[in-house]
Amino acid sequence: MSTTLSSPYAELISRLIPNLKSASGPDLKVFTPVDGSEIASLRVDTAKEIDEKIARSVQAFKEWSLVPGPIRGELVRRLGEALRQKKEDLAKLVTLECGKILEEGRGEVQEMIDICDFAVGLSRQLYGLTIQSERKNHVMQENYLPLGPVGIISAFNFPVAVWSWNAALAFVCGDSTIWKPSEKTPLTALAVQAILEGVLKDFPQAPANLSQVIIGDAKQGSQLVDDRRVPLISATGSTRMGLAIGQRVAARFGKSLLELGGNNAMIITPNADLGVAIPSILFGAVGTCGQRCTSTRRVIVHRSIIDEVFNKLKNAYTSIHQNKIGSPLDPHTLVGPLIDGDARQMMERALELIKPEAKEIVGGGRALQDKYPNASYVYPALVRLNKQTEAVYTETFAPITYVIPYDTLEEALEIHNAVPQGLSSAIMTTDVREAEYFKRHTDCGIANVNIGTSGAEIGGAFGGEKETGGGRESGSDAWKAYMRRQTSTTYYGTERPALAQGITFDV
Ligand code: NAD
C-alpha cells in the first residue's frame, strides 16, 4: 500500500521521498501523532535483505576508508548544503511524524546542519599523537584509522538529528553506516536517505551503499546488533533497550555507544534569579511535550522559596493549558501531542502511582479529545511532593514534572543523584560557590548553570552516566568512538634494535 491518498500530507511526503512506492508495503503502518491518521505503510526488511545490506556496507567501507579525510569532509559539506535547502520541508516531516512543534522541527534540522559543519572541519583534524620513545632511533605514534560499518539505532523523539550526530562523524572518519530508525518514525529516515542519495549522485569518490536504511522494529534492530561485521552499534533509546543491546554487543566483543534515558533535575537555590529560572523550567518541562531525553523531570527547590516557585509555575501551566496546546503545525502551539496512546497511558499510570504521595497535582489528563479523538494530546502535569520517593525514579516519557523541597545544598545534590539515570542537570543560582559545588557533585554527563536541562549545542560531547549508558556523541572528541586507535612504533636505526624496558635477549 502506498501513502494514504486522501492524506493532506501526501504531497510533502512524496516530495521528500520520491521512491516511497518501492519502500511501501503492508508490514509497518505509520501514523502521525498530529491527528492519529495513517500517513504511510511500509515494507519491513527481511533477514536476508538485512544480511545483504550489511555485506554491501562492508564493501562500501573498504572503498570509503581509502578516500582522504578532507574529501570525505567535502561530502559532508555538501550534505549540510542539501539540508539547508530542504530544511523547511524536512522540519515539517519531523513535526508530522513525531509531533514536536514546527519550531523544534526546524531546530532539529538545524542541529543536522550544525553537526555537518562541525564534521567538515574535523575531517582535517583527526589528530593522533607522537609519543617520546624510551629507545634510541624509535618513533612512537598513536594513529586513528577508520573503524568499519557503523550501526545506528535511533529513537522516535529525535528522528533525524541523532542519525546526523553519528553519520556526519562516521563519514568523515571513513566509516559506512546502516541506520535502523524508530519504527514510529521511518519516513523521516527515508527522507534523509533520499537527500543524501541526491548528494551522492554527484560525488563519484563515494562508493555505493555508503549509507543504508533498515526498516523495522526491535527484531530487525537485533539482527544488526548481533552481526560481527558491524564493529560499532550506536543506539539511542530507552534504558530497557540499552540493557538488551549493550550485553549482546559485548557478547561478540563489539563496541557500543549507548545514549539512553534521563531523569533530569534542576536545583533552584534561594540565590536563583527566578526571571531566568522559570522560563528555563517551562521549556525543559513542557517543551517537546516532555519527550526529550533531557526534559526537566524534577525541580528541586529550596524550602524557603518553594511556594513562590510552585505558584509561578502553576500560573504558567494554567496559561499553557488554556492557550498553548494544539497541533504542532500551528505556529501558536507550544505543546503538541504525545507520540501515541501507549505514551498517554504511561503518563496516566505514572500520575495514578504518585497521587497518594502528592501534595498537589496541576494538569494531567487528556486534552483536545473532541477535536483529535485519535491523537494523544495531554495537559502537562506539575506534581508537588513533600519529598522525593522511588515513584519518580523511573523515566516517564511524558510531560510530568515533580517539584521537591530541600534544605541544604548537600541534601539537594543527594536528592538529585538518587535516581538511576545520569544525563542532564542544572542549577539556578547567582552564587558562584553554589554553582561550582553543583558542578563538582552532580553525577550527570551534562551540568548547566543558569540554563535548563534541555537544548544542548552540538559542539560539546553529548551523553550521560549510570543508566544513561556512558556514551558520548556529537562534538568535542566524540569522533574517536568511530575510529580504531592504533599504537605504532618504528625503528629507523641500523644497529641491533633495543628492547623495551632495557631487556637483553642475546641469541
Ligand atoms: P525505544 O527504546 O523504545 O526504541 C529506540 C530504538 O531502539 C528503536 O529504533 C527501536 O526499534 C530500537 N530497539 C528497541 N529494542 C531493541 C532491541 N532489543 N534490539 C535492537 N533495537 C531495539 O525508545 P523510544 O521510545 O523510541 O525513545 C524514547 C527513549 O529514548 C527515552 O528513554 C529517551 O530518554 C531516550 N533517548 C535518549 C537520548 C540520549 O541521547 N540519551 C536521545 C533521545 C531519546
pLDDT tens digit string along 181-194?
Answer: 999 999 999 999 99
| CB of residue 429 inside a 6 A radius of ligand 1 | no
Q: List the Cα angle 444/217/213 in 5-degree steps.
A: 90
Say if 15 falls within a structural domain: no
Catalytic residue among 97, 111, 183, 259: 259
Same domain, 191 and 336: no
Looking at residue 58, which CATH number applies to its domain? 3.40.605.10
Q: How confident is the model at residue 7 (pLDDT cuts 50, 70, 90)?
A: confident
Q: Report whether pLDDT(6) > 90.
A: no
Distance, CA of 9 to CA of 22 (rounded, Å): 19
DSSP secondary structure letter of residue 291: -
Same domain, 114 and 135: yes
Residue showing cell 538488551: 244
Q: How confident is the model at residue 60 (pLDDT cuts 50, 70, 90)?
A: very high
Q: Report whether pLDDT(4) > 50.
A: no
Same domain, 204 and 131: yes
Which residue in 401, 407, 54, 43 sits closest to 223, CA to CA? 54
Give me the percent of the chain exceeding a pLDDT of 90.
Answer: 98
The per-residue pLDDT for range 8-54, each reduced to its tens digit, is 799 999 999 999 999 999 999 999 999 999 999 999 999 999 999 99
Distance, CA of 50 to CA of 441 (rounded, Å): 45
Same domain, 319 and 419: yes
Q: How confident is the model at residue 271 (pLDDT cuts 50, 70, 90)?
A: very high
Q: Report whether pLDDT(5) > 60.
A: no
CA 206 to chain CA mean position, Å = 27
Q: Write down how long the chain is.
A: 507
C-alpha cell at 393: 525514579
Same domain, 347 and 404: yes
Same domain, 244 and 320: no
Say if 126 falls within a structural domain: yes
Q: Quote the pLDDT of residue 500.
A: 95
Same domain, 75 and 180: yes
Looking at residue 386, which CATH number applies to its domain? 3.40.309.10
The per-residue pLDDT for range 224-256, each reduced to its tens digit, is 999 999 999 999 999 999 999 999 999 999 999
- Domain range for 405 is 264-449
Same domain, 180 and 316: no
Same domain, 284 and 231: no
Annotated active-site residue 390? The verdict is no
Same domain, 251 and 284: no
Distance, CA of 345 to CA of 166 (rounded, Å): 32
Q: What is the mean pLDDT of residues 437-461?
A: 97
Domain boundary (434, 449, 464) is at 449
Annotated active-site residue 293? The verdict is yes
Distance from residue 156's CA to the centre of ligand 1 (Å): 7
Q: Quote the pLDDT of residue 1.
A: 38
* Minimal-distance CA residue to ligand 1 atom 42: 293
Q: Packing angle between helix 47-64 and helix 218-226, nearest 10 degrees?
A: 50
Distance from residue 343's CA to the centre of ligand 1 (Å): 13
Q: Quote the pLDDT of residue 8.
A: 78
Which atom of ligand 1 is the closest one to the Cα of 395? 32
Q: Report whether pLDDT(159) > 80.
A: yes
Which atom of ligand 1 is the closest one to the Cα of 184? 26
Q: What's the sign of the alpha-carbon dihedral 154, 156, 161, 164?
A: positive
Element (H, E) at 377: strand 377-378
Total domains in the fold of the chain = 2
Give me the percent of the chain exceeding a pLDDT of 70.
Answer: 99
Which atom of ligand 1 is the closest one to the Cα of 242? 2
Q: Quote the pLDDT of residue 3.
A: 42
Distance, CA of 28 to CA of 10 (rounded, Å): 17
Q: Report whether pLDDT(282) > 90.
A: yes
Count of C-beta atoms within a 10 Å radius of residue 420:
13
| CB of residue 263 inside a 6 A radius of ligand 1 | no
| 3-class secondary structure, 226 | helix
Domain boundary (449, 464, 491) is at 449
Distance from residue 50's CA to the centre of ligand 1 (Å): 20
Same domain, 107 and 205: yes
Catalytic residue among 116, 289, 293, 444: 293
**Amino acid letter at 199?**
V
Residue showing cell 563538582: 440
Q: With beta carbons less than 8 A apart as the criterion, state whether 266 and 297 touch.
A: no
Q: Report whether pLDDT(2) > 90.
A: no
